[in-house]
Structure 1
Amino acid sequence: MSNPLLGTFVHGVGGVSASTCYVPFQKVKKWSWDTYWLLQATFAWFIFPLVLGFLTVPNLLAVFNDSPIDVIVNATLLGAVYGFGGMCFGFAIKHIGYSLTYTISIGISAILGTIVPLLMHGNFIEKLEAPGGGIIFLGMFMALIGIAICGVAGYRKEADLKRNAQEGDDVLTFDMKKGLLLTLIAGILSAVFGISLEVGAPVAEMAGKYGAGNFEGNASLILSTFGAFVTNLVWFITAGIKNKTLKEFVDVKSIGTRSYGINFGMSVLSGALWYGQFFFYGIAHVQMGAFKFASWVIHMSMLIFFSYIIGIVMKEWVAVTKRTYTTLIYALIILVLSFFVMTYGSMQGA
Structure 2
Amino acid sequence: MDVITGVLLHAIGATSAALCYTPQKKVVRWSWQTYWLAQAFICWLLLPIVVALITIPNIAQVLSEAPTSAMVRSFALGAAYGVGGTAFGLAIRYLGFSLTYAISVGISCVLGTLLPPFIRGELNTIVSRYGAEWIMYGIAIGVLGIILCGSAGRLKEKDISNQQDDTSFSFAKGLPLSIMAGVLSAFYGFALDQGQPIADVAAKYGAGNLQGNVIYIFSNTGAFITTLIYCLYLHKKHRTAHEYTSVGGGKQRLLTFNYALAILTGFLWYGQFFFYGLGHVRMGTYQFSSWAIHMIMLVLFSAVAGLLMREWSRVQKRTAFVLALALLVLIAAVLTLTYGNYLGSVPAAH
User: What TM-score bracket applies, with the shorter chain setting the length?
Assistant: over 0.9
Cα offset, 1:147, TM superposition:
2.0
Q: 1:131 to 1:209 in 2, by over 3 A?
A: same
Q: Is the 8 A contact 1:158 1:176 kept in 2?
A: yes
Aligned to 2:327: 332
Code of the residue aligned with 2:200 in structure 1: it is: E
Task: Return the TM-score normalized by structure 2.
Answer: 0.96
Aligned to 2:172: 177
Cα offset, 1:77, TM superposition:
0.4
1:64-118 per-residue CA deviation (whole Å, 9 max, x = no partner) reads 2111111111110010011110011001111111111112211221111110011
Cα offset, 1:236, TM superposition:
0.5
Code of the residue aligned with 2:186 in structure 1: it is: A
Q: 1:253 to 1:323 in 2, by over 3 A?
A: closer
User: What CA distance in whole angstroms lies between the structure 2 residues aligned with 1:253 and 1:182?
Assistant: 31
Q: Is the 8 A contact 2:142 2:333 kept in 1?
A: yes
Code of the residue aligned with 2:49 in structure 1: it is: L
Secondary structure of the corresponding residue to residue 161 of structure 2: helix
- Once the two structures are overlaid, the 10-residue window that deviates more, 254-263 or 61-70, is 254-263
Q: 1:77 to 1:323 in 2, by over 3 A?
A: same
1:210-247 per-residue CA deviation (whole Å, 9 max, x = no partner) reads 11111100001111000000001111012111111110
Q: Is the 8 A contact 1:27 1:262 kept in 2?
A: no
User: What CA distance in whole angstroms lies between the structure 2 residues aligned with 1:53 and 1:110?
Assistant: 27
* Structure 1 counterpart of 2:318, from 292, 306, 323: 323
User: What CA distance in whole angstroms lies between the structure 1 residues aligned with 2:25 and 2:247?
Assistant: 24
Q: Is the 8 A contact 2:55 2:213 kept in 1?
A: yes
- Once the two structures are overlaid, the 10-residue window that deviates more, 245-254 or 71-80, is 245-254
Code of the residue aligned with 2:217 in structure 1: it is: I
Code of the residue aligned with 1:274 in structure 2: it is: W
Q: Is the 8 A contact 1:154 1:176 kept in 2?
A: no
Aligned to 1:45: 44
Give the percent of matched residue pairs that are identical in Structure 1 and Structure 2: 43
User: What CA distance in whole angstroms lies between the structure 2 residues aligned with 1:145 and 1:182?
Assistant: 21
Secondary structure of the corresponding residue to residue 206 of structure 2: coil
Cα offset, 1:20, TM superposition:
0.5
Aligned to 2:64: 65
Aligned to 2:276: 281
Code of the residue aligned with 2:88 in structure 1: it is: F
Code of the residue aligned with 1:161 in structure 2: it is: I
Cα offset, 1:252, TM superposition:
8.9
Aligned to 2:295: 300
The two structures, once aligned, show a CA RMSD in angstroms of 1.4
Aligned to 1:97: 96
Cα offset, 1:268, TM superposition:
0.8
Aligned to 1:16: 15
Alignment of 1:193-212 (within 5 A): 193-212=188-207
For the pair 1:119 / 2:118, whether they are aligned, the reply is yes
For the pair 1:234 / 2:233, whether they are aligned, the reply is no
Q: Is the 8 A contact 2:245 2:255 kept in 1?
A: no
For the pair 1:34 / 2:33, whether they are aligned, the reply is yes
Cα offset, 1:330, TM superposition:
1.4
User: What CA distance in whole angstroms lies between the structure 1 residues aligned with 2:53 and 2:292?
Assistant: 28
1:3-48 per-residue CA deviation (whole Å, 9 max, x = no partner) reads 1111111111111111110111122101110100010001110000
Code of the residue aligned with 1:207 in structure 2: it is: A
* Structure 2 counterpart of 1:215, from 210, 213, 230: 210
Code of the residue aligned with 2:42 in structure 1: it is: F
Aligned to 2:348: none
Specify every segment of 5 or more residues in structure 1 that has no aligned partner in the other structure, as ranges. Answer: none
Task: Return the TM-score normalized by structure 1.
Answer: 0.96
Q: Is the 8 A contact 1:18 1:273 kept in 2?
A: yes
> Number of matched residues?
345
Code of the residue aligned with 2:131 in structure 1: it is: G
Aligned to 1:25: 24
- Once the two structures are overlaid, the 10-residue window that deviates more, 184-193 or 249-258, is 249-258
